[in-house]
């Protein structure tokens, strides 16, 4: 049986008497919008934004993240103390208005020192997240879309990286990368891209079977255009989640770098 074309709200309204057509059309549009059946579909970004602002825990987390970032980046600029400024008479003080986190054994302000270290941790975390997400997304999309030997090769690379403990790799590269933030970020990105690649590969394997991907392929679209225009935009949710998790993983791994004399923050405070 042939599929029947579903009439739009305007076509249904044209069949109503002219006396109550406007009121019936307004009521039908209101019901359709309330049930998500509007003639003009919402974009992915608009739907994601509406879900975000209606999620209380997500809003609280975003507000907390913004406050922490502001406290690390901007608040030390307004402080009267520097990272290495000492004041022995005020040593080992508790939290106060002048010293929100107190002071250490030689009177240095702990809040300024914590914020300075937080700035470098955020810098490393964000840099690692961008690099790992970009490389992991590219590798995962290629493995999932092309399949066959490409999928096998990339999957074996991912397994190879996953079986080697991260701390051992950091120890091996300790003498080469030194205490450089950029080099450390690159090494951490090479360790964390595998998580995102596995997630993206699974999403692409599912998305490439969709009818709109088959339609784009039938119209002669190139593989690059299909991946960038049809596949990856529909896998954006897991990619964003993987990127946010990569920030946390990078900061945790950076926390262990003093074991191998790699800490950028330690190098900053021991000059």
Question: What does the pLDDT read at residue 130?
Answer: 92
> How far apart are alpha carbons 218 and 265 in whole angstroms?
54
Within this chain, do residues 260 and 159 fall inside the same structural domain, yes or no? yes
Residue 148 belongs to a domain: yes
Residue 113 belongs to a domain: no
Residue 96 belongs to a domain: no
Residue 77 belongs to a domain: no
Q: Taking phi first (over 0 means left), then psi (-120 to 50 degrees means alpha), and beta for anything else, what does residue 74 get?
A: alpha
Contact 235, 203 (CB under 8 A): yes
Within this chain, do residues 141 and 245 fall inside the same structural domain, yes or no? yes
Question: What does the pLDDT read at residue 43?
Answer: 61
User: Residue 193 is part of which domain span?
Assistant: 118-269
Alpha helices in the chain (DSSP H): 9-14, 21-34, 44-53, 56-73, 110-146, 148-163, 166-172, 174-177, 181-207, 211-218, 223-225, 236-255, 264-269
Within this chain, do residues 170 and 258 fall inside the same structural domain, yes or no? yes
Residue 222 belongs to a domain: yes
Within this chain, do residues 123 and 252 fall inside the same structural domain, yes or no? yes
For the stretch 191-237, pLDDT in tens is 888 888 988 998 888 888 888 888 888 888 888 888 888 888 888 88
Q: Please give the chain's pLDDT, 271 residues, in tens.
A: 445 555 555 555 455 454 454 555 555 555 555 555 455 556 656 776 777 778 788 788 888 888 888 888 777 777 777 777 777 777 777 777 777 777 777 778 777 787 887 888 888 888 999 999 999 999 998 888 888 888 889 888 888 888 877 777 777 776 666 567 788 888 888 888 888 898 899 888 888 888 888 888 888 888 888 888 888 888 888 888 888 888 888 888 877 776 665 544 455 445 4
Contact 184, 220 (CB under 8 A): no
Within this chain, do residues 262 and 174 fall inside the same structural domain, yes or no? yes
pTM over 0.75? The answer is no
Residue 67 belongs to a domain: no
How many domains are contained in the chain?
2
Contact 249, 192 (CB under 8 A): yes
CATH code assigned at 180: 1.10.3720.10
Within this chain, do residues 31 and 122 fall inside the same structural domain, yes or no? no
Residue 16 belongs to a domain: yes
């Amino acid at each position: 049986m042939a599929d029947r074309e579903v009439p739009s709200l305007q076509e249904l309204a044209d069949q109503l008497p002219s006396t109550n057509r406007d009121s019936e059309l307004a009521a039908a549009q209101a019901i359709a919008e309330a049930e998500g059946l509007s003639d003009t579909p919402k974009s992915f970004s608009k739907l994601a934004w509406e879900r975000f602002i209606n999620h209380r825990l997500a809003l609280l987390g975003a507000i907390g993240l913004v406050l922490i970032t502001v406290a690390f980046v901007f608040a030390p600029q307004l402080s009267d103390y520097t990272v290495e400024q000492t004041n022995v008479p005020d040593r080992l003080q508790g939290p106060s208005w002048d010293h929100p986190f107190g002071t250490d054994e030689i009177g240095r302000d702990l809040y300024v020192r914590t914020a300075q270290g937080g700035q470098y941790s955020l810098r490393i975390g964000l840099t690692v997240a961008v690099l790992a997400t970009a490389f992991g997304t590219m590798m995962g999309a290629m493995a999932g879309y092309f399949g066959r030997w490409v999928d096998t090769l990339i999957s074996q690379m991912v397994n190879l990286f996953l079986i080697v403990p991260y701390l051992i790799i950091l120890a091996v590269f300790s003498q080469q990368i030194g205490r450089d933030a950029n080099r450390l970020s690159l090494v951490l990105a090479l360790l964390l891209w595998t998580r995102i690649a596995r997630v993206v590969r699974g999403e692409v394997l599912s998305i490439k079977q969709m009818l709109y991907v088959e339609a784009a392929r039938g119209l002669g679209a190139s593989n690059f255009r299909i991946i960038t225009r049809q596949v990856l935009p529909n896998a954006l949710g897991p990619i964003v989640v993987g990127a946010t998790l990569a920030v946390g993983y990078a900061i945790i791994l950076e926390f262990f770098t003093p074991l191998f004399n790699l800490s950028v923050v330690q190098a900053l405070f021991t000059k």
